[in-house]
Every structure is written in structure tokens, then in C-alpha cells.
Structure 1
Amino acid sequence: MTRSEYDGQGESGPLDSCDRRIMTVIDALHKRDDPIPEDLDERVLFALELEAELDARVASISQNDLVLVRGEADLAVGQGDPASITFDCETVTVMVTPRPAATGEVRLDGWIGPEGTYEVEIRSPEGTKRASSDETGRFVLEALPHGQMFQLVIRPDEVLQREGLPAVVVTPAVRL
């Protein structure tokens, strides 16, 4: 084909029935092979809230034991030993263990290092809950919704900040 044969084709021409069929097939392939995550809205909201925290350090997931193996049997959360998630940034480590509660909700036991007192906030689509750690960094958050995305916001006390800890540490959003 010469250049003149291409004139009038492409992006400037109107869609015809063949173009519509091609677009329908492409749309169906995307929906089947790469669907939009159901929790996309939740993830976007968490990311926007994170950007609002100007001096936040983002902790990464360093260990995720959501399925434990003992011998031949797999143990999932709520069966036998509880699973833990560990988040790390340069100066702070946070380990949380979700435990199912009798009400069908989740209790989150947590430990923060280095030792000291922290304000802990958990954000989820259901809202925000707060707790304070004891002097050893231990905290508990109860009555959390099962199966929801959550994000922790950790604020060390002033003494720890003077020792070099960041004012805010935020974990990535993960599902309980």
C-alpha cells in the first residue's frame, strides 16, 4: 500500500460495524483476563489518604505468614496458630496478628519496635479506630470487620521522635 491508500483511514475516520465488533472483543478479553479489582475504590482512597500524610514513612511488608504449614496440613487464619504480618521501615517495625473473634469480627494484636508508646490508628472502609500502645509497644484493636482492607498509621510519642523516629509511619493497605 502506498501512502495515499492510507489517507482517510485510522483515527480520523468514523467507527464502522467492524471497528465496533473488534472493540467488543477487546472489551470482553479485558473483562475476562484483567478485570478491574472489586476493591479498587478502597485502594485509591487509601493512597489518597497516604499522600495527605506529609511526613509519613511508608513501611513495607517484610513477612506475611497468612498460611502456616505444620507437617502435611495447611493452617489458615483462624485454624490453630494465628498468622502474622510484619511491616518495616528504616526505624520502626510493626507486627500484627489478626485473630477471629466470637462475633465474626477480627481482633488485631500488635507489637511495635523499638519499645515505647505509640498512637495507633487503623483505617478501613468501615471507618477509623484508635488505640495506644503500652510502654513495650504492644496494642490491641478489637471489633474490626472481617475481609476488609486496612491500613495502620503509627505515631510515636515525642520522646521517640526526639530519638529519631519519624512522626508518622503508614503501612500499605492489606486485607484482614
Structure 2
Amino acid sequence: MRPEFEDQGGYEQLDSCDERILAVINELHHRDDPLPDDLNERVLFALELEAALDARVARISRENELVPMRGETEMTVGQGDPASITFDCETVTVMVTPRPSAVHELRLDGWIGPEGIYEVELRSGDGSKLASTDESGRFVVEGLPGGQMFQLVIRPEESLQRNGLPAVVVTPAVRL
């Protein structure tokens, strides 16, 4: 044992009691906060986007609301009043608000900053819908089925890319 750690017991051999304690901690961890089944695919997806497409993967930014755990694969938005969701990465912020528009359909109002023209692709299980922002970064996508997962792919115009924005920003998938 190194002299600076003599009084801490940091290098003693594990005994059967230590192994039982670690086994219980491991079991609790796997039961209450398991790793997502698709963790490897998520990491590879993010790395491939950033490397190949100069894309950034935005994160959900929600103050004082749901805190995602590692085991979650989706977040639910809605029920009653519309809930805004904000996604952000280093240089781009996207805020979306789902609103009822017709029976069993939703409308997604969105704003992207910094201001400018963006192409917005909304991906869902039903396919993709395209929209463009106005110069202030505002967009609308209508006719969305409620309860489905969706993901946004944001592509800034070339002038914004020349000013330092990535070519592609992808949001995590969320459920409306």
C-alpha cells in the first residue's frame, strides 16, 4: 500500500461482504436506472452526424420540469395546455409548442434562433413534413397526429452557416 493511503484502506482486498454490497448496489442500479437498450445506436448516430454532416445534436432544455433518466427513451408533452419544448446546442436554439388544430391532429408552432431562414424537416412514424421559416425564424407544421414520436432536422441557409452555424441540427425524438 502507498504510504499516503495507509490510513484510508483504499488498497485492501475486497472480501465477500464487499462483494455482496456491490452486488446489491448493482442490482438496484439496473432495476431503477437501467441503460437504454439502444444506447450504442444513439451514440453512434450522434457521432456519425457530427463527423459526416457537420451536424449538432441538440438537447432538451426544460427548467423545473421533467428530468430525463438514463432509462427513458422518450419524453411526453401535452395533456391540457400546450407545453413548449426548447432544444439547444452551442449555436442554435429551437422552441416548439404543440397545439390542437383539428380532431386528433396537432399543429406545431416553432421558433429558431438566431433569426434567419431555415429548412425544417419534421420526422415521424408517418414520414417527413417540410417547412421553412420566415426571416425571424418562425415556422408552423400542421396536420400532425397526436401521440406520435417526432424529431426535427434543422438546416440553416448558407449565409447562416458562413456565420458559424452547423449545416444540420438534429433534435432528440419526443412524443406529442
Q: TM-score, normalised by structure 2?
A: 0.63
Partners in 1 of 2:167 and 2:62 — Cα distance? 24
Q: Whose Rg is larger?
A: 1
Secondary structure of the corresponding residue to residue 108 of structure 2 = strand
The 8 Å contact of residues 64 and 84 in structure 1, kept in 2 or not, is answered as no
- Counterpart of 1:99? 99
Give per-residue Cα distances to partners, 1:29-49, cap 9 Å, x unaligned.
Answer: xxxx79xxxxx89x9999887
| Partner AA of 2:78 in structure 1 | V
Whether 2:134 is the aligned partner of 1:134: answer: yes
CA RMSD of aligned residues (A): 2.9
Q: 1:65 Cα shift?
A: 8.1
Give per-residue Cα distances to partners, 1:73-109, cap 9 Å, x unaligned.
Answer: xxx83634x2100000000000000001223111000
Count how many residue pairs are aligned between Structure 1 and Structure 2: 130
The 8 Å contact of residues 154 and 169 in structure 1, kept in 2 or not, is answered as yes
- Counterpart of 1:173? 173
Whether 2:145 is the aligned partner of 1:150: answer: no
| Partner AA of 1:59 in structure 2 | A
Pairwise mapping of residues 48-63 of structure 1 onto structure 2 (< 5 A)?
53=49, 54=52, 55-63=54-62
Q: TM-score, normalised by structure 1?
A: 0.63
Secondary structure of the corresponding residue to residue 101 of structure 1 = strand
Shift in CA distance, 46/148, structure 1 to aligned 2, threshold 3 Å: farther
Q: Answer with 84-93 or 45-54: which moved more.
A: 45-54
The 8 Å contact of residues 151 and 170 in structure 1, kept in 2 or not, is answered as yes
| Partner AA of 2:115 in structure 1 | E
Partners in 1 of 2:58 and 2:118 — Cα distance? 15
Structure 2: runs of 5+ lacking an equivalent? 1-30, 67-76
Shift in CA distance, 79/65, structure 1 to aligned 2, threshold 3 Å: farther
- Counterpart of 1:160? 160
- Percent of paired sites with the same residue: 67
The 8 Å contact of residues 120 and 155 in structure 1, kept in 2 or not, is answered as yes
Give per-residue Cα distances to partners, 1:121-148, cap 9 Å, x unaligned.
Answer: 0000110000000000000000011101
Shift in CA distance, 44/145, structure 1 to aligned 2, threshold 3 Å: farther
